[in-house]
Amino acid sequence: MVVGFNHNFRYKGEVYHIQTEDSGVKNPNIVTLLYQGGTILASKKTSYADITRVDNLDQVVEELMKEQHKGMLRNLKTGEFDAVIERFQSARNQKSQIPKFEKISAPLKEVTPAAVKSVVLETPPAPPADAQVAQVAPVAAPKPELQAEPRTLPPAAVKPSSSTIEFSLDEVILSYLMGDDK
Protein backbone atom coordinates (compact mmCIF):
# COMPACT_ATOMS: atom_id res chain seq x y z
CA MET A 1 0.00 0.00 0.00
CA VAL A 2 1.30 3.45 -0.96
CA VAL A 3 0.86 6.03 1.81
CA GLY A 4 1.87 9.10 -0.19
CA PHE A 5 3.57 10.93 -3.04
CA ASN A 6 5.91 13.93 -2.82
CA HIS A 7 7.26 15.91 -5.76
CA ASN A 8 8.96 19.25 -6.31
CA PHE A 9 8.12 21.23 -9.45
CA ARG A 10 9.51 24.45 -10.89
CA TYR A 11 6.86 26.90 -12.09
CA LYS A 12 7.59 30.48 -13.17
CA GLY A 13 11.05 30.31 -11.63
CA GLU A 14 9.86 29.12 -8.19
CA VAL A 15 9.92 25.63 -6.67
CA TYR A 16 6.60 24.20 -5.47
CA HIS A 17 6.05 21.00 -3.53
CA ILE A 18 3.04 18.75 -4.00
CA GLN A 19 2.29 16.15 -1.34
CA THR A 20 -0.49 13.57 -1.45
CA GLU A 21 -1.27 11.27 1.48
CA ASP A 22 -3.77 8.57 2.36
CA SER A 23 -5.10 8.87 5.90
CA GLY A 24 -5.94 5.13 6.03
CA VAL A 25 -9.10 3.07 6.27
CA LYS A 26 -9.95 4.38 9.75
CA ASN A 27 -10.04 7.89 8.29
CA PRO A 28 -10.61 7.23 4.56
CA ASN A 29 -9.39 10.46 3.03
CA ILE A 30 -6.84 11.42 0.40
CA VAL A 31 -5.28 14.83 1.05
CA THR A 32 -3.16 16.73 -1.48
CA LEU A 33 -1.32 19.91 -0.50
CA LEU A 34 0.53 22.48 -2.63
CA TYR A 35 3.39 24.18 -0.78
CA GLN A 36 5.86 26.93 -1.48
CA GLY A 37 8.63 27.40 1.06
CA GLY A 38 6.73 25.51 3.75
CA THR A 39 3.50 27.48 3.29
CA ILE A 40 0.36 25.66 2.12
CA LEU A 41 -1.05 27.48 -0.91
CA ALA A 42 -3.79 25.01 -1.88
CA SER A 43 -5.32 21.77 -0.67
CA LYS A 44 -7.74 19.12 -1.83
CA LYS A 45 -9.34 16.42 0.28
CA THR A 46 -11.28 13.47 -1.10
CA SER A 47 -13.14 10.90 0.99
CA TYR A 48 -13.28 7.28 -0.10
CA ALA A 49 -15.49 6.13 2.77
CA ASP A 50 -18.08 4.84 0.31
CA ILE A 51 -15.70 2.28 -1.24
CA THR A 52 -13.79 0.91 1.77
CA ARG A 53 -15.24 -2.59 1.30
CA VAL A 54 -14.03 -3.20 -2.27
CA ASP A 55 -11.71 -6.19 -2.75
CA ASN A 56 -8.81 -4.29 -4.32
CA LEU A 57 -8.99 -1.21 -2.07
CA ASP A 58 -5.20 -0.65 -2.05
CA GLN A 59 -5.07 -0.43 -5.85
CA VAL A 60 -8.15 1.77 -6.09
CA VAL A 61 -6.86 4.19 -3.42
CA GLU A 62 -3.44 4.33 -5.10
CA GLU A 63 -5.07 5.26 -8.43
CA LEU A 64 -7.23 7.91 -6.73
CA MET A 65 -4.11 9.33 -5.07
CA LYS A 66 -2.22 9.44 -8.39
CA GLU A 67 -5.08 11.22 -10.14
CA GLN A 68 -5.51 13.78 -7.35
CA HIS A 69 -1.73 14.38 -7.25
CA LYS A 70 -1.59 14.86 -11.04
CA GLY A 71 -4.67 17.11 -10.89
CA MET A 72 -2.96 19.46 -8.43
CA LEU A 73 0.08 19.62 -10.73
CA ARG A 74 -2.12 20.30 -13.78
CA ASN A 75 -3.90 23.10 -11.90
CA LEU A 76 -0.54 24.63 -10.96
CA LYS A 77 0.73 24.43 -14.57
CA THR A 78 -2.46 25.92 -16.05
CA GLY A 79 -2.24 28.94 -13.73
CA GLU A 80 -5.25 28.14 -11.54
CA PHE A 81 -3.25 29.08 -8.44
CA ASP A 82 -1.58 32.20 -9.89
CA ALA A 83 -3.80 34.60 -7.90
CA VAL A 84 -3.10 32.71 -4.65
CA ILE A 85 0.63 32.65 -5.42
CA GLU A 86 0.63 36.39 -6.17
CA ARG A 87 -1.13 37.19 -2.86
CA PHE A 88 1.33 34.96 -0.96
CA GLN A 89 4.38 36.52 -2.59
CA SER A 90 3.02 40.03 -2.05
CA ALA A 91 2.40 39.35 1.65
CA ARG A 92 5.84 37.76 1.98
CA ASN A 93 7.47 40.84 0.38
CA GLN A 94 5.55 43.21 2.65
CA LYS A 95 6.55 41.18 5.70
CA SER A 96 10.22 41.43 4.76
CA GLN A 97 9.86 45.24 4.68
CA ILE A 98 8.68 45.50 8.30
CA PRO A 99 11.32 47.39 10.27
CA LYS A 100 13.21 45.31 12.79
CA PHE A 101 13.62 46.32 16.42
CA GLU A 102 17.07 47.58 17.20
CA LYS A 103 18.95 46.59 20.31
CA ILE A 104 19.20 49.43 22.81
CA SER A 105 22.65 49.75 24.30
CA ALA A 106 22.62 52.06 27.26
CA PRO A 107 24.10 52.06 30.73
CA LEU A 108 21.70 50.74 33.34
CA LYS A 109 21.27 54.18 34.90
CA GLU A 110 19.72 55.48 31.62
CA VAL A 111 17.00 52.82 31.32
CA THR A 112 13.68 53.16 33.14
CA PRO A 113 11.62 50.25 34.43
CA ALA A 114 8.89 51.15 31.90
CA ALA A 115 11.30 50.71 28.99
CA VAL A 116 12.39 47.28 30.14
CA LYS A 117 9.27 45.87 31.74
CA SER A 118 9.15 42.99 29.25
CA VAL A 119 12.84 42.16 29.53
CA VAL A 120 14.09 39.73 32.15
CA LEU A 121 17.48 40.71 33.53
CA GLU A 122 19.81 38.40 35.39
CA THR A 123 20.18 40.06 38.80
CA PRO A 124 21.11 43.56 37.63
CA PRO A 125 23.41 45.56 39.83
CA ALA A 126 21.67 48.23 41.88
CA PRO A 127 22.24 51.78 40.59
CA PRO A 128 24.15 54.12 42.88
CA ALA A 129 21.92 56.00 45.32
CA ASP A 130 22.83 59.36 43.75
CA ALA A 131 22.22 58.22 40.11
CA GLN A 132 19.63 60.02 38.04
CA VAL A 133 17.45 57.91 35.76
CA ALA A 134 16.77 59.27 32.29
CA GLN A 135 13.22 59.08 30.98
CA VAL A 136 12.85 56.82 27.94
CA ALA A 137 9.58 56.62 26.05
CA PRO A 138 8.36 53.04 25.47
CA VAL A 139 8.26 51.86 21.86
CA ALA A 140 4.90 50.68 20.57
CA ALA A 141 4.85 47.25 18.96
CA PRO A 142 3.94 47.22 15.25
CA LYS A 143 0.41 46.12 14.43
CA PRO A 144 0.23 42.74 12.71
CA GLU A 145 -0.63 42.97 9.02
CA LEU A 146 -2.85 39.91 8.98
CA GLN A 147 -5.07 38.79 11.81
CA ALA A 148 -6.63 35.36 11.85
CA GLU A 149 -10.26 35.12 12.75
CA PRO A 150 -10.68 33.25 16.02
CA ARG A 151 -12.03 29.77 15.39
CA THR A 152 -12.79 26.86 17.62
CA LEU A 153 -12.20 23.23 16.84
CA PRO A 154 -15.11 21.55 15.09
CA PRO A 155 -17.31 19.64 17.57
CA ALA A 156 -16.33 16.30 16.01
CA ALA A 157 -12.64 16.93 16.80
CA VAL A 158 -13.39 16.84 20.53
CA LYS A 159 -13.58 13.34 21.99
CA PRO A 160 -17.15 12.47 22.99
CA SER A 161 -17.38 10.90 26.43
CA SER A 162 -19.14 7.76 25.16
CA SER A 163 -16.71 6.82 22.37
CA THR A 164 -13.01 6.84 21.56
CA ILE A 165 -12.73 8.85 18.33
CA GLU A 166 -9.13 10.02 17.92
CA PHE A 167 -7.60 12.44 15.43
CA SER A 168 -3.94 13.12 14.91
CA LEU A 169 -2.67 16.68 15.21
CA ASP A 170 -2.07 16.69 11.44
CA GLU A 171 -5.69 15.71 10.82
CA VAL A 172 -7.02 18.44 13.11
CA ILE A 173 -4.77 21.06 11.49
CA LEU A 174 -5.76 19.98 7.97
CA SER A 175 -9.40 19.95 8.98
CA TYR A 176 -9.06 23.48 10.33
CA LEU A 177 -7.22 24.74 7.24
CA MET A 178 -9.71 23.14 4.88
CA GLY A 179 -12.78 24.23 6.88
CA ASP A 180 -14.10 20.68 7.26
CA ASP A 181 -16.51 19.62 9.94
CA LYS A 182 -14.10 17.04 11.38
pLDDT digits (tens, 9 = 90+) for 32-46: 999 998 899 999 999
Q: How far is CA 104 from CA 43, 101, 115, 119, 126, in A?
A: 44, 9, 10, 12, 19
* pLDDT value for 100: 60
* pLDDT value for 90: 86
Digit-by-digit pLDDT tens for the chain (182 residues) are: 678 999 999 999 999 999 999 999 999 999 999 999 889 999 999 999 999 999 999 999 999 999 999 999 999 999 999 999 999 888 888 876 666 655 655 555 555 555 555 444 445 566 666 666 555 556 665 555 554 455 554 554 444 444 445 666 766 676 666 666 54
Q: How many C-beta neighbours within 10 Å does residue 128 have?
A: 8
* pLDDT value for 136: 56
Q: What is the pTM of this model?
A: 0.52
* pLDDT value for 95: 72
Reading across the β-sheet that carries 29-36, which strands appear in turn?
4-11, 14-22, 29-36, 39-47
* pLDDT value for 150: 52
The gap from C-alpha 64 to its chain's centroid, in whole angstroms, comes to 26
* pLDDT value for 116: 54
